[in-house]
């Protein structure tokens, strides 16, 4: 059936463009990330614990950083406004002093300030305003400039224009002629501005105190590096947090692995024991709850092993004890004069003998103490098919070269029972083997009448035989399918029985590759 037909049959609309786009993507790319994430975090206790720990720590760190960043910005804004107001008060006093000073004395005062200090401002007088490139992308710098301007308008109003900006010192002009701050003698600026080794933004105030006379004031902020201090995501602040976060996550993962390692060991031991591999008791380790679980598993494993050994001894004893009275009864029936009564006694004793042998064979064939080894499944099936063909039966086989780790004798008994049933109740048998991602699919199909759907669930139960089977094979006990199912389950697989759409019964054996 084509893809479009299958989608139409399911009642789904087909989208050719989406179909083509899905086919255009490589198969390994589709779903790879989700598969990897599922394997890492979704399917194991360690992964889920790790995911919860990592997500919890990350969310807590993120919430803390957001809260701390908001508080830091609020505090930096308040401190910047206060510092800007303080700078503006000093600048207002300088502006009033120069405005009230006679024009002839202004150069002398500027020279004195440059050589002797005494003010926090670098002072210059220009004929026109100087073009200043303000700091871009910093809301706090704009807030400082606005605060200084508003305070100056209140404390030292001037008749002309007023320009305030924050600028970086490396390209700061001090006169309309293009003279930059870095071109001036160091003695002029070292008492008022910071060293160029670590530049900080400078408040530049230009006030038109008279027509054609612009007072140029430049000063660093009281906290020169307020922009850096207001940045919550600076490298020197993020690095300790990243180191702390990484250490916490590593310790969390290590603790989770330590806690889940005994559980993983317990899971592997339970899987191995379920597949019939006996092992020594697990070492008791981990938390108190895990230790109780491991002790319970060790006790359960010991009891089951003891039960299996007791069962074997019990059936061996039954076999030994029943054969003698059955043989004695058969000898006594020979003394009977009535031939018809003698034949009935012989028939009942034969049935009793067959039931004992069948029960013993059932225990023997489902023995779980055989060691698992690497076996070529195709070679095993070829030998079974060769034996069936030598007996005159028609069998077809399609099996690639494939190796599985199984109990060879037990699996051979199970497959022999399935093949014998297919050849006994069907005209011929077809065997097919396919390999999937993590398992082997082995199908044995006969060409007989099949089984009523209502009776499929009863197949495999001990001593259950259908009418067709009793007519075809009188000596059967109804144990073959049950033995095969137990053997397949002991290998961690499944046995599914279903009627084939073209007729006959189909037995599907699913075996894990590992």
pLDDT along the chain (514 residues), means of 10: 41 40 44 54 70 82 84 85 87 82 72 58 83 85 88 83 86 81 67 64 86 84 77 76 83 82 84 72 84 88 81 71 77 80 80 70 57 88 91 90 88 88 86 89 89 72 56 56 82 87 89 80
The reported pTM is 0.43
Decide if 210 contacts 53 (C-beta within 8 A): no
Q: What is the pLDDT of residue 320?
A: 64
Q: What is the pLDDT of residue 430?
A: 93
Query: Which residues in 230-247 are b (16+ Cβ under 10 Å) and which e?
Result: bbbeeeebeeeeeeebee
Whole-number Å distance between alpha carbons of 483 and 310: 20
Other Cβ atoms closer than 10 A to 272: 14
Alpha-carbon torsion 372, 375, 377, 379, what sign?
A: negative
Cα angle, residue 369 at apex, residues 364 and 375 outer, rounded to 5°: 95
* Encoded tokens for 6: 């299958």
Q: What is the pLDDT of residue 174?
A: 82
Q: What is the pLDDT of residue 463?
A: 53
Residue 372's SS3 state is coil
Decide if 124 contacts 216 (C-beta within 8 A): yes
Helices (H), 175-287: 186-189, 226-229, 235-274
DSSP string, 311-350: HHHHHHHHHHHHHHHHHHHHHHHTT-S-HHHHHHHHHHHH
Q: What is the pLDDT of residue 166?
A: 86
Q: What is the pLDDT of residue 441?
A: 93
Cα→Cα distances 398→27, 285, 377, 499, 503, Å? 28, 49, 12, 20, 19
């Amino acid at each position: 059936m084509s893809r479009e037909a299958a989608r139409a049959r399911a009642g789904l609309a087909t989208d050719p463009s989406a179909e083509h786009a899905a086919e255009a993507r490589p198969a390994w790319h589709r779903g790879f990330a989700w598969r990897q994430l599922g394997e890492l975090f979704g399917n194991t206790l360690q992964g889920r614990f790790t995911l919860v720990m990592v997500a919890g720590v990350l969310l807590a760190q993120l919430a803390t950083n957001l809260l701390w960043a908001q508080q830091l910005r609020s505090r930096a804004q308040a401190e910047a406004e206060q510092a800007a107001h303080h700078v503006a008060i000093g600048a207002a006093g300088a502006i009033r002093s120069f405005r009230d000073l006679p024009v002839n004395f202004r150069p002398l005062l500027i020279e004195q300030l440059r050589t002797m200090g005494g003010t926090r401002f670098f002072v210059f007088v220009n004929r026109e305003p100087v073009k200043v490139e303000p700091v871009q992308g910093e809301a706090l710098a704009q807030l400082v400039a606005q605060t200084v301007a508003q305070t100056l308008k209140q404390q030292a109003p001037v008749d002309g224009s007023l320009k305030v900006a924050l600028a970086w010192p490396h390209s700061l002009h001090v006169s309309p002629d293009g003279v930059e701050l870095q071109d001036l003698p160091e003695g002029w600026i070292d008492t008022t501005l910071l060293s160029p080794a670590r530049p900080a933004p400078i408040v530049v105030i230009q006030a038109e105190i008279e027509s054609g006379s612009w007072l140029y004031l430049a000063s660093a902020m009281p906290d020169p590096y307020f922009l850096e201090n207001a940045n919550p995501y600076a490298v020197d602040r993020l690095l300790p947090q990243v180191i702390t976060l990484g250490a916490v996550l590593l310790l969390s993962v290590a603790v989770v692995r330590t806690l889940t390692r005994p559980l993983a060991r317990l899971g592997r031991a339970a899987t191995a024991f379920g597949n019939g591999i006996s092992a020594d008791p697990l070492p008791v380790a981990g938390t108190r709850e895990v230790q109780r679980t491991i002790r319970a598993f060790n006790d359960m494993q010991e009891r089951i092993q003891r039960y299996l050994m007791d069962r074997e001894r019990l059936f061996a004893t039954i076999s030994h004890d029943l054969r003698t009275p059955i043989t004695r009864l058969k000898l006594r029936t020979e003394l009977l004069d009535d031939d018809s009564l003698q034949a009935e006694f012989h028939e009942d004793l034969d049935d009793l003998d067959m039931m004992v042998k069948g029960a013993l064979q059932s225990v023997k064939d489902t023995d779980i103490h055989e060691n698992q080894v690497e076996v070529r499944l195709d070679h095993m099936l070829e030998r079974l098919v060769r034996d069936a063909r030598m007996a005159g039966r028609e069998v077809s086989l399609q099996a690639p070269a494939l190796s599985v780790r199984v109990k060879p004798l037990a699996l051979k008994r199970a497959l022999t029972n399935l093949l014998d049933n297919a050849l006994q109740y069907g005209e011929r048998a077809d065997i097919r083997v396919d390999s999937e991602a993590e398992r082997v699919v082995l199908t044995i199909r006969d060409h007989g009448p099949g089984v009523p759907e209502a009776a499929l669930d009863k197949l495999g139960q001990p001593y259950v035989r259908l009418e067709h089977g009793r007519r075809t094979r009188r000596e059967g006990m109804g144990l073959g399918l049950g033995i095969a199912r137990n053997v397949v389950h002991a290998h961690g697989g499944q046995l599914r029985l279903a009627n084939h759409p073209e007729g006959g019964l189909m037995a599907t054996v699913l075996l894990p590759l590992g």
